[in-house]
RNA sequence: GGCCCCUUAGUCUAGUGGUUAGGACGCUUGGUUCUCAGCCAAGAAUCAGGGGUUCGACUCCCCUAGGGGCUACCA
């Protein structure tokens, strides 16, 4: 059995969006499951849109997700270089060989001419394929054009019997009928290869055994098959995985601001949650379990359970995964990641151990760390502003609040249990219980009618802070 | 326009000729609770449509519709 070698081949023209991340993940899982190698190749042949910053951003995102590669531009390998911009000699060589063998030819058509011809064919209701003008040029004509300094690209000659079949891991047999494509450019006039040519050359040169990529490349595969043929190379096996669609049901694309990994990272989603969610988009293991670690995913991942229909990226479910990881995985594990999301005043007011306790309480339901700020109010130091419902709740409970001041001020112990006990005693003494008992105190202490267990909140806030808040609330009642 | 791919609840999916069509998110209701959340329990909601094949179709075939992709000197 041939060694399993798969690659993820992003072009550094934007952030790594979740579609790309899912493709990388499937490749990575497949490689790990099969004991093969995972290669990272940068497809930066579109010089206009590519950038080094974007490239390193993609590398960072992959590392953050935990998808380390065995060979790549930053760490080398036996099949390098791993950046297409550094492999142009190979593409040029391949193109020259095809020209010499009469399987490709130089094309001198200008962009305007091409555009005009395409338009004509469209009007005539013909597929907008290249008409082969330059294929018919003889040597003399070519020489003339060259000395005239006309820019030349290289076009591949599509054989007349161009029906091709593909046995795809996910799609099964796909038939591309003859006449589907016209002669296509393999080397642009700027000397750089087009996607289909570079991908075919590199996949062969890098001994890639399986190409796992998005379905958007399915139609293009016929071109790559013809290139392998012409060059006498053995094609890899293909698996075209279904696209991830946006809410509008169209392909997720960088240009339309698709959800990207970096964004989720900065918003404080655990990487495991994203990986776990993404793994279940277009794939599912046998059984009902959905929370799976990376190791478990590796163990279960098989290409034959990849679905063939596209799926929509649903942030709501991602939120659920994320909250599950934070809660079940143990909040303390994420404390360092979460701390930067705490408001400054809260971080300054408590020692780390207290912050950990606060985080544990909030982690009961926290889709992302960026939501901490929305839930932190009860723990903010200082005196809460009383407005609306909270003000009303306090206003009707003067007696209760001043009694609570005494009850909470006495005694040595300050723990959730002792605080709970004192509130209960207080209630018994005043013959108040339930909401009537807790809500006014809660409102005075936190400024809100909702929040985590009140005794716990008070314990963490500290006696002084709690008493001050109640005194202030009382004062507010006296002087409305 | 041409070609290719896809079609189970709002969403992610299981299901490979005979199932009460299973699970998850979300939603609704109830329980627990000072409240929110959580947790527990219950519930509503799906095989795009039409033809075949078959004793029997979600499952196989065809057509239609819908969605998506490709059709670039983008990837």
CATH of the domain at A450: 1.10.10.350
Q: Do residues A415 and A473 both lie within one domain?
A: yes
Going by pLDDT thresholds of 50, 70 and 90, the confidence category of residue A406 is confident
**From A117, A254, A300, A302, active-site residue:** A254
Q: Do residues A352 and A409 both lie within one domain?
A: no
A115, part of any domain: no
A416-430 helix and A398-409 helix, angle to the nearest 10 degrees: 140
Of A375, A407, A429, which marks where a domain is finished?
A: A375
Between A130-144, A216-230, A252-266, A286-300, the lowest mean confidence (pLDDT) is in A252-266
Which residues are CB-neighbours of A41 under 8 A, at least 6 positions away?
Answer: A7, A8, A9, A72, A73, A82, A83, A84, A202, A206
How many Å does it take to go from CA A385 to C1' B34?
A: 20
A435 catalytic per annotation: no
Q: Do residues A408 and A474 both lie within one domain?
A: yes
Of A311, A346, A375, which marks where a domain is finished?
A: A375
Judge contact between A39 and A6, C-beta under 8 A. yes
pLDDT reported for residue A432 = 80
pLDDT reading at A142 higher than 60 = yes
Q: Which pLDDT tens digit goes with each residue over A173-231?
A: 999 988 888 999 999 999 999 999 999 999 999 999 999 999 999 999 999 999 999 99
The strand B neighbours among A residues 373-432, by Cβ under 7 Å, are: none
Judge contact between A240 and A45, C-beta under 8 A. no
Q: Do residues A392 and A364 both lie within one domain?
A: no
Q: Do residues A371 and A393 both lie within one domain?
A: no
Looking only at the bridges linking them, the beta strands covering A172-176 and A164-168 are antiparallel
Residue A11 contacts strand B, CB under 7 A:
yes
What's the rounded mean pLDDT across residues A393-415?
84
Q: Do residues A351 and A404 both lie within one domain?
A: no
Q: Which pLDDT tens digit goes with each residue over A436-465?
A: 889 999 999 998 999 999 999 999 999 999
Q: Do residues A392 and A464 both lie within one domain?
A: yes
What's the rounded mean pLDDT across residues A30-38?
97
Q: Of residues A7 and A162, which shows the higher confidence score?
A: A7
pLDDT reported for residue A257 = 63
Domain housing A437? 388-478
Q: Do residues A392 and A341 both lie within one domain?
A: no
B24 C1' closest Cα residue: A290
A97, part of any domain: no
Residue A367 contacts strand B, CB under 7 A:
no
User: Shortest CA–C1' contact from A113: which nucleotide?
Assistant: B73
Q: Which pLDDT tens digit goes with each residue over A468-478?
A: 999 888 887 76
A454, part of any domain: yes
The strand B neighbours among A residues 341-360, by Cβ under 7 Å, are: none
Count of domains for chain A: 2
Dist CA A143 CA A41 (whole Å): 37
Q: Which pLDDT tens digit goes with each residue over A360-375?
A: 999 998 999 999 999 9
pLDDT reported for residue A255 = 60
φ, ψ of residue A338 to 5 degrees: the values are -85, -35
What's the rounded mean pLDDT across residues A266-274?
96
Residue A302 contacts strand B, CB under 7 A:
no
What's the rounded mean pLDDT across residues A281-298?
94
Residue A434 contacts strand B, CB under 7 A:
yes
Q: Do residues A434 and A469 both lie within one domain?
A: yes
A265, part of any domain: no
Residue A216 contacts strand B, CB under 7 A:
yes
Between A150-154, A211-215, A241-245, A250-254, the lowest mean confidence (pLDDT) is in A250-254
User: Shortest CA–C1' contact from A177: which nucleotide?
Assistant: B3
A440, part of any domain: yes
Q: Do residues A352 and A393 both lie within one domain?
A: no
The token pair at A342 is: 């705490």
A436, part of any domain: yes
DSSP A70: S
Of A345, A375, A405, which marks where a domain is finished?
A: A375
Q: Do residues A351 and A417 both lie within one domain?
A: no
pLDDT reported for residue A411 = 79
pLDDT reported for residue A254 = 65
What's the rounded mean pLDDT across residues A424-445?
88
Residue A337's Cβ-count burial label (10 Å; 0-12, 13-18, 19+) is middle
Q: Do residues A436 and A465 both lie within one domain?
A: yes
A253, part of any domain: no
Q: How many residues does chain A have?
A: 480
A186, part of any domain: no
CA distances from A262 to A40, A57, A248, A268 (A): 18, 8, 22, 10
């Amino acid at each position: 059995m041939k060694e399993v070698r798969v690659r993820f081949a992003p072009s550094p023209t934007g952030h790594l969006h979740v579609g790309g991340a899912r493709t990388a993940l499937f490749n990575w899982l497949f490689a790990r499951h099969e004991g093969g190698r995972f290669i990272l190749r940068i497809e930066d042949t579109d010089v206009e849109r590519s950038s080094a910053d974007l490239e390193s951003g993609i590398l960072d995102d992959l590392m953050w997700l935990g998808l380390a590669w065995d060979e790549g531009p930053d760490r080398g390998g036996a099949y390098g270089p791993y950046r297409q911009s550094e492999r142009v000699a190979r593409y040029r060589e391949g193109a020259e060989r095809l020209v010499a063998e009469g399987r490709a030819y130089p094309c001198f058509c200008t962009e305007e001419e091409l555009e005009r011809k395409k338009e004509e064919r469209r009007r005539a209701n013909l597929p907008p394929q290249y008409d082969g003008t330059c294929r018919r040029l003889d040597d003399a004509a070519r020489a003339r054009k060259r000395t005239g300094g006309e820019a030349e690209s290289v076009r591949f000659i599509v054989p007349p019997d161009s029906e091709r079949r593909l046995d795809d891991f996910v799609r099964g047999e796909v038939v591309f009928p003859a006449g589907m494509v016209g002669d296509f450019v393999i080397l642009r006039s700027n000397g750089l290869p087009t996607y289909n040519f570079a991908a075919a050359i590199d996949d062969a040169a890098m001994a890639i055994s399986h190409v796992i990529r998005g379905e958007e490349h399915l139609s293009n595969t016929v071109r790559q098959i013809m290139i392998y043929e012409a060059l006498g190379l053995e094609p890899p096996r293909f698996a075209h995985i279904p696209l991830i669609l946006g809410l509008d049901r169209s392909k997720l694309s960088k240009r339309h601001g698709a959800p990207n990994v970096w964004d989720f990272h900065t918003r404080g989603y655990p990487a495991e949650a994203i990986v776990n969610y993404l793994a279940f988009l277009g794939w599912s293991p046998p059984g009902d379990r959905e929370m799976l670690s990376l190791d478990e995913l590796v163990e279960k991942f098989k290409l034959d359970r990849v679905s063939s229909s596209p799926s929509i990226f649903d942030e709501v479910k991602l939120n659920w995964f994320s909250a599950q990881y934070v809660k079940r995985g143990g909040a303390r594990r994420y404390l360092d990641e979460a701390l930067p999301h705490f408001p400054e005043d809260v971080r300054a007011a408590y020692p780390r151990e207290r912050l950990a306790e606060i985080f544990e309480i909030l982690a009961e339901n926290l889709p992302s760390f960026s939501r901490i700020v929305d839930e932190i109010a009860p723990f903010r130091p200082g005196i809460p502003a009383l407005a609306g419902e909270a003000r009303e709740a306090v206003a009707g409970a003067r007696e209760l609040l001043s009694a609570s001041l005494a009850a909470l001020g006495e005694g040595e112990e300050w723990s959730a249990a002792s605080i709970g006990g004192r509130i209960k005693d207080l209630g018994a003494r005043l013959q108040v219980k339930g909401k009537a008992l807790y809500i006014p105190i809660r409102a005075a202490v936190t400024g809100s009618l909702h929040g985590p267990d009140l005794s716990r909140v008070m314990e963490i806030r500290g006696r002084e802070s709690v008493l001050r808040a109640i005194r202030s609330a009382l004062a507010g009642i006296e002087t409305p």
